[in-house]
Amino acid sequence: MFKLKNYAIVEAGYNSKGGKYILSQDAEKQHDIFFSTQGTKQLKGFLLSGAFAYARTLKDSVGYTMRNDLYSAAPYYYYAAKKGNWEVSTYDLQGIVSRNLNKKITVGLGAAYQSSIAWRGNDPRSEYFMFNMAVDGTVQYKIAKNHTVGITGGAVFKSNETNIEYRNKDYGTSLMYPEYVTHLQFGYGFDDYRQNAWLKTGSNGWKAGLLYNGHLSLGTVTAKANYTRLSSKFTGPSSVYEPEGVYGWFHENIWTGNLWWQKETVKGIFSFQANYLNHKGKDQNVFLNASNYVYSYEQVKLKPVFGRYKNQQLVHELGADISLTNSLKVDGNADQRAAYQYLNTGIFGAYYFPVNNHKNTFKALVGIDVQTPLSSTAHQSVQLHEFAQAVIYRDYYFYSAFNYSGKVELLYSFKLKETACFVKLNGQYQQANIKADATLPALNKPGNSRWNYLLSVGVTL
């Protein structure tokens, strides 16, 4: 008979966001219903781990984009000025199996799958399909009793497709309704009017990484470094400029680094996390027969946390979140450039209250975050363009705003018969100081507030 070891967490909940302190292509209101589960199982010599998540999302009044991917680095997508509402279904599935070959070598194989189907319910009506797949292999070698090193490698496959149609055909064929006209964005301001609106993207790439884990006198240390190379090809209806229906390519280089340290004593537990991301991209435009668009995003995050014990139980935590971000988008043909650097600093504290003679636990967490713009630049081109006024210049006021936020998290853990259960409530409110000047001629400016709350319930099996 197989020896099994099971562990699983199941959670379901509701999340709501609202407020006008948003990027120009974001939704003023958003509602999510989600379900997720994760767990592990020991099956003889194999350790199986997996996770699944599903979310149903409603987005209200999204303008200037026909894709459901606000933070995509890729420059090629359709947009229209007219705002519309979206319905999105997203699926995430991950799994990994690992096995110890002997006392020194462990091997593993994993896969991650994500897909989404999104519909826009207003003219112009967009259908957006997205598929991501990654396969990874890892080999770990114990070089000493308390030291393990490893290498990882894998392949990445992505695809998405956008199809646009009109219920009112006049909107798609007449320039009398300019807000309904679809444009194909080639970068960050360089676009072209396209009536036959569909676009397909195929991406593939590879990734490799190194890892280290050590159990030292100063604590446990885990370090990872990864590199991903990704190339995407964009195709659509053939035109005079692209007779073969190929619009361009986009090449991305992504570097990540992660460091985690933890030290536990009789009095408490100390932990420290450091994360680094360097994401760069560059396109090759068929129409221009040259590179037009450059993308760069770099971020460093630090998170120190201290937790205090009393009678071998965690009674309170105190921590900080610090991040420094640099972002850059350049469109050569449209003469557009936007560069932002901002610092986010936050502190939080949590207290754990024993309930029902220590059988249940109530956690209360409060935190404050402050985001400070260090440098904000958006170049105004000689030729004034609606996309620049509605998106680029508006986003300049978003990123150049000093903002602060407060958050609260309440968590109650209890047992229902022999099953461990929990109820969680999160809330956050954000306030921003938008510049009152008219440095750039934006069509409008962001609002000054944003809020969101989350309610979920779950069980641990």
- DSSP notation for 328-359: EEEETTTTEEEEEEEEEEEEEEEEEEEETTTT
Q: pLDDT tens digits, the chain, 461 residues: what are they?
A: 334 467 899 999 999 999 999 999 999 999 999 999 999 998 888 999 999 999 999 999 999 999 999 999 999 999 999 999 999 999 999 999 999 999 899 999 999 999 999 999 999 999 999 999 999 999 999 999 999 999 999 999 999 999 999 998 888 776 788 899 999 999 999 998 887 789 999 999 999 999 999 999 999 999 999 999 999 999 999 988 899 999 999 999 999 999 999 999 999 999 999 999 999 999 999 999 999 999 999 999 999 999 999 888 899 999 999 999 999 999 999 999 999 999 999 999 999 999 988 789 999 999 999 999 999 999 988 888 899 999 999 999 999 999 999 999 999 999 998 899 999 999 999 999 999 988 899 999 999 999 999 999 999 98
Angstrom distance (rounded) from CA 337 to CA 329: 6
- pTM of this structure: 0.94
- Count other Cβ atoms within 10 Å, centred on residue 141: 12
Angstrom distance (rounded) from CA 111 to CA 198: 30
Enumerate domains of the chain plus CATH numbers.
4-460 (2.40.160)
The tokens for 447 are: 């609002």
Q: How many residues belong to the chain?
A: 461
Are 10 and 458 in contact, with CB atoms under 8 Å apart? yes
Angstrom distance (rounded) from CA 439 to CA 401: 13
pLDDT value at position 5?
A: 62
Angstrom distance (rounded) from CA 53 to CA 94: 9
The tokens for 111 are: 């896969």
